[in-house]
Amino acid sequence: MKIDFRKIEVTDLEGNKSTFDVSKELGNTIYNNTTDLGELEFAQEAYKHGEVEVDSEKAEIVRKYMEVGRFFARIKKGVFDLLDSINNEK
């Protein structure tokens, strides 16, 4: 499944929806914290292109680094909801 990290949909307390671009921050977080070359390549792709193919393995990478980074809970929820849909496709 392709995820565009430039357009993460979040909902505020009143139910209003908006989008956030987390591609650069996510890419930087992975890039600066990984020891794995595959994760490094994924970080570069997310940073440069924003929209990337995410399978269940990459979904777990994103989850791991969303916890390492300084992402607000409502943005994590928006990303995690997308990642959950990948895991539910199986």
46-86 pLDDT tens trace:
999 999 999 999 999 999 999 988 899 999 999 999 999 88
Strands (E), 6-85: 8-11, 17-20, 51-53
Give the separation between CA 71 and CA 69, rounded to whole angstroms. Answer: 6
Confidence (pLDDT) at 87: 67
Could you tell me the residue ranges of all domains in the chain? 2-88
Contacts with 86 (C-beta within 8 Å, 6 or more apart), sequence order: 1, 54, 55, 56, 59
- Give residue for tokens 């890419």: 27
Mean pLDDT for 14-19 is: 94
CA atoms within 13 A on the CB side of 73: 2
